[in-house]
Structure 1
Amino acid sequence: MRTTHVVPVEIGFKHCDPAGIVFYPRYVEIFNDTVEHWLKHGIGASFASLHDERRIAMPIVNLQVDFLAPSRLGEELAAELAVEDVGRSSLKLAIELRSAGAAGEPRVRARLVPVFVDMQTMRPIAVPDDIRAALVARQFWQQ
């Protein structure tokens, strides 16, 4: 069984529109925060080290989102990230946001495809060997 990475998300005022529900573009920021947290705490490769030291970026080249139910100001959600596939230069990630607690009502489901690119050339590069190895070692992916 593959490992997933769960990040708690507190819906704050900054996420909401005047109706008090999450404004849909804010979910994309939550997805990015989830990926950043997973890379640092789940894989051991922070955005800071990738960008500043290794000059590697991970732009999203494909994003699919299903909005299932609204989320409201003050709610606690859980963002669960799973790796669906690992390509030569990309990852296929799934993120589900659901209400925290036993009920865990799904709110949003997303599929993201980040691609590893050289920041100087902005051309795709192979998934770094250390990241590929960490995906396997930490059971996020099975080759």
Structure 2
Amino acid sequence: MHFHFPQKVLFKHCDPAGIVFYPRFFEMINDAVEAMFSDALRWPFEEIHPDQGVPTASISVQFKAPCRHGDQLVLAVEIKAIGTSSLTLRTRATAQDQLRFEADHTLVCVGADGRPTAWPDDMRHKITGLMEGRT
């Protein structure tokens, strides 16, 4: 995996039964992606968003086991492929060595007009470096 993001399951993530309400997993996935861009790629969202963006174009999640209040998750993000303007990722969340969910998702680099645009050369270099273990 190319980036690891720890996430404790908090009260705010859970339904009254103490199980994570599934839309909160999408927030966790986005938090892990945002942290990867900031910490591993050194291109934080607050620097990207004035002129560009990296919205999620598609996402598919397979829920394997429930997550409960207090679980210590680790979201491991793997970069599967980089295209001209796309980035394909897989995020796997585990707790206590058990797979809890797995997501396949695609981001798209967009310009200020909201249309797909090529990854900036320096960012493409950083992403491929992370994929190859150079970063």
Instruction: Normalising by structure 1, report the TM-score.
Output: 0.89
- Deviation of 1:138 after TM superposition, in Å, equals 3.1
Q: Which residue of 2 aligns with 1:113?
A: 106
Q: Which residue of 2 aligns with 1:81?
A: 77
Separation in 2 of the partners of 1:104 and 1:68?
13
Q: 1:107 to 1:12 in 2, by over 3 A?
A: same
Which string of whole-angstrom CA distances, capped at 9 and with x for unpartnered residues, describes residues 4-33 of structure 1?
Answer: 100100100110011100000000000000
Question: Partner amino acid for 1:57?
Answer: G
Which string of whole-angstrom CA distances, capped at 9 and with x for unpartnered residues, describes residues 12-71 of structure 1?
Answer: 01100111000000000000000000000011100011013xx11111111000000000
Matches within 5 A, 1:34-53: 34-52=32-50
Gaps of 5+ in 2: none
* Structure 1 stretches of 4+ moved >4 Å: none
Q: Which residue of 2 aligns with 1:10?
A: 8
Separation in 2 of the partners of 1:16 and 1:125?
37
Share of identical aligned residues, percent?
A: 34
Separation in 2 of the partners of 1:137 and 1:94?
17
Matches within 5 A, 1:1-143: 4-52=2-50, 55-99=51-95, 103-119=96-112, 121-140=113-132
Number of matched pairs: 134
Question: Partner amino acid for 1:124?
Answer: P
Gaps of 5+ in 1: none
Separation in 2 of the partners of 1:79 and 1:111?
13
Separation in 1 of the partners of 2:106 and 2:131?
19
Question: Partner amino acid for 1:58?
Answer: V
Question: Partner amino acid for 2:101?
Answer: V
- Deviation of 1:79 after TM superposition, in Å, equals 0.4
* Structure 2 counterpart SS, 1:56: coil
Instruction: Normalising by structure 2, report the TM-score.
Output: 0.94
